[in-house]
Amino acid sequence: MKIDLTFSVNNIDELQLRDKNVVVIDVLRASTTVIAALHNGAREIIPVSNIESAVKISGSLFGDVTLRGGERGGKMIQGFNLGNSPLEYTEASIKGKSIIYSTTNGSIAMWKSRFARNMVVGAFVNLSKVTEFLSKTNEDALVMCAGDSSEPNGFSLEDAVCGGMVVQQLSQMKNMELELSDSARAAHTLYKSFGRSIQKMLKDSAHGKYLAGIGYKEDIQYSAQVDSLPVLPILSGSALKLKKDEKRAAEPEITPAVK
């Protein structure tokens, strides 16, 4: 199985993702939040590329089952119902709802993956579900770290380390032959160095520091808990969903390669 990895969603053309198996990782916080929302009973998450789309789409849907969630600069967008803290996405606030979702990096990575064969959302909180999915499909995959588009370098340490942890778990599976791109090897090395304390790595990362500074320290602790939310969001049409019985540890819906 070949594993490629991008450190940033910058410069990715959506057609490059066509027919690929893509794992979108935005640890702080879009991936973690989407996983938390579906784990806590949201009906679906519809990732969009910008605020205008979010407003347009949610305007044509039934008001009482649709919410708008997301952030700019880490903070809730004016006129939205929810920000981007996973702690906001409780059962009480989102059960049964469709959530139109717009963030600075993560929702764009999810939206750019809409032509992928399979797209799943990964973070530390569901890491083993991601590697289980990849090992079951047993096909080449692209781990797409969303990164930080506000920096020229586009890089986020936390996403790279999480991508490297995916490589690490796969490499430890029996009968798994991995072929890694340079970037996947690099991420694996970063995991081996920074993965010893995920919580410390998140705290010391540029975006972790930023989030702590604007009052979201608890989100960092929440995002650091490996396998605490064992569900796998998978793109189905335009929406991220769980299979109905996902909470009972069912198989995700996987689209096989055309032979």
Contacts with its own copies, residue ranges (CB under 8 A): 4-8, 10-13, 16, 142, 151-157, 160, 181-183, 185-186, 189-190, 192-194, 205-206
Query: What's the min distance (Å) between Cβ of 149 and its own copies?
Result: 8
And the tokens for 12? 């990715």
Query: What's the min distance (Å) between Cβ of 248 and its own copies?
Result: 36
Under the phi-then-psi rule, with left for phi > 0, alpha for psi from -120 to 50, and beta for the rest, what region is 160?
alpha
> Please, how many CA atoms are within 13 Å of residue 73, restricted to the half-sphere of its CB?
5
Query: What's the min distance (Å) between Cβ of 10 and its own copies?
Result: 4
Query: What's the min distance (Å) between Cβ of 160 and its own copies?
Result: 6
Nearer to its own copies, 75 or 185 (CB): 185
Q: Report the alpha-carbon distance of residue 110 to residue 12 in Å, rounded.
A: 12
Query: What's the min distance (Å) between Cβ of 11 and its own copies?
Result: 4
Nearer to its own copies, 54 or 167 (CB): 167
Q: What's the angle, vertex CA 244, arms to CA 241 and CA 247, rounded to 5?
A: 90
Instruction: Tell me the C-alpha to C-alpha distance, in Å, between residue 127 and each of 29, 38, 82, 232.
Output: 15, 15, 25, 9
Tokens 């999915």 locate to 133
Q: Report the alpha-carbon distance of residue 71 to residue 76 in Å, rounded.
A: 5
Contact residues for 137 (Cβ-Cβ < 8 A; gap 6+): 21, 118, 254, 256
Query: What's the min distance (Å) between Cβ of 154 and its own copies?
Result: 6
